[in-house]
Structure 1
Amino acid sequence: MHDRRFELICEVEPPTRPDLTRVRHQIGVLSPVADSFLIPDNHIGRATVSSVAVAHEVQAMGARGIACLNSRDRNLLGFRRDLLTAAAYGVDRFLFVYGDKPTAGGRTSELTVRTMVEEARAAVEEPTFGGCGPFQVGVTSGLRALPTWKTTADFVFVQVSYSLENLLRWRESVSLDVPVYAGVMVLASANMARNLAAKIPDIAIPDQLVADVERDRDAGVTAACEQVLAIRDSGAFDGVHLVPVSRYRQVAARLERDL
Structure 2
Amino acid sequence: MIEHRFEVICEVEPPTRPDLKHVRHQIGTLAKVSDAFLIPDNHIGRATVSSVAVAHEVEAMGGRSIACLNSRDRNLLGFRRDLLTAAAYGVDQFLFVYGDKPTSGGRTGELNVRAMIEEVRATARDAAFAGTRPFRVGTAAALRPLPTWKRAADFVFVQVSFSTEALLRWREATPLDAPVYAGVMVLASEAHARRLAAAIPDIDIPRDLVEKVRGDRNAGVEAACEQVLRIKESGAFAGVHLIPVARYREVAARLESMLG
Scaled by the length of structure 2, what TM-score is found? 0.99
Deviations 1:54-101 (A, max 9, x none): 000000000000000000000000000000000000000000000000
Give the distance between the partners of 1:124 and 1:87, measured in 2 at CA.
Answer: 12
SS in 2 for 1:258: helix
Instruction: Could you tell me which runs of 5 or more consecutive residues in structure 2 were left unpaired when the two chains were aligned.
Output: none
* Alignment of structure 1 residues 13-52 onto 2, 5 Å: 13-52=13-52
| 1:71 equivalenced with 2:71 (yes/no) | yes
Residue 130 of structure 1: aligned partner:
130
* Alignment of structure 1 residues 80-91 onto 2, 5 Å: 80-91=80-91
* Alignment of structure 1 residues 1-259 onto 2, 5 Å: 1-259=1-259
Deviations 1:120-170 (A, max 9, x none): 010132111123222000000000000000000000000000001100000
Give the distance between the partners of 1:120 and 1:191, measured in 2 at CA.
Answer: 39
Give the distance between the partners of 1:253 and 1:243, measured in 2 at CA.
Answer: 15
Q: Partner letter of residue 59 of structure 1? A: E
1:2: how far off? Answer: 3.0
- Aligned partners of 1:51 and 1:69 also within 8 Å: yes
1:228: how far off? Answer: 0.4
Give the distance between the partners of 1:173 and 1:98, measured in 2 at CA.
Answer: 24
Give the distance between the partners of 1:120 and 1:251, measured in 2 at CA.
Answer: 34
SS in 2 for 1:162: coil
- Aligned partners of 1:94 and 1:138 also within 8 Å: yes
- Aligned partners of 1:124 and 1:132 also within 8 Å: no
SS in 1 for 2:240: strand
Give the distance between the partners of 2:231 and 2:2, measured in 1 at CA.
Answer: 15
1:33: how far off? Answer: 0.5
Number of matched residues? Answer: 259
Q: Partner letter of residue 221 of structure 1? A: V
Give the distance between the partners of 1:109 and 1:22, measured in 2 at CA.
Answer: 32
SS in 2 for 1:157: strand
Report % sequence identity.
74
- Aligned partners of 1:140 and 1:158 also within 8 Å: yes
- Aligned partners of 2:26 and 2:248 also within 8 Å: yes
Moved more, 117-126 or 218-227: 117-126
Give the distance between the partners of 2:111 and 2:92, measured in 1 at CA.
Answer: 20
Q: Please report the RMSD computed on the Cα atoms of aligned residues, expressed in angstroms.
A: 0.6
Question: Structure 1 residue runs of 4+, over 2 Å off?
Answer: none
- Aligned partners of 2:72 and 2:98 also within 8 Å: yes
Give the distance between the partners of 1:164 and 1:179, measured in 2 at CA.
Answer: 18
- Aligned partners of 1:124 and 1:133 also within 8 Å: no
1:15: how far off? Answer: 0.2
Deviations 1:186-222 (A, max 9, x none): 0000000011001101100000000000000000000
- Aligned partners of 1:36 and 1:65 also within 8 Å: yes
1:108: how far off? Answer: 1.2
Give the distance between the partners of 1:49 and 1:141, measured in 2 at CA.
Answer: 25
- Aligned partners of 1:38 and 1:68 also within 8 Å: yes
Q: Partner letter of residue 201 of structure 1? A: P
Give the distance between the partners of 1:76 and 1:257, measured in 2 at CA.
Answer: 45
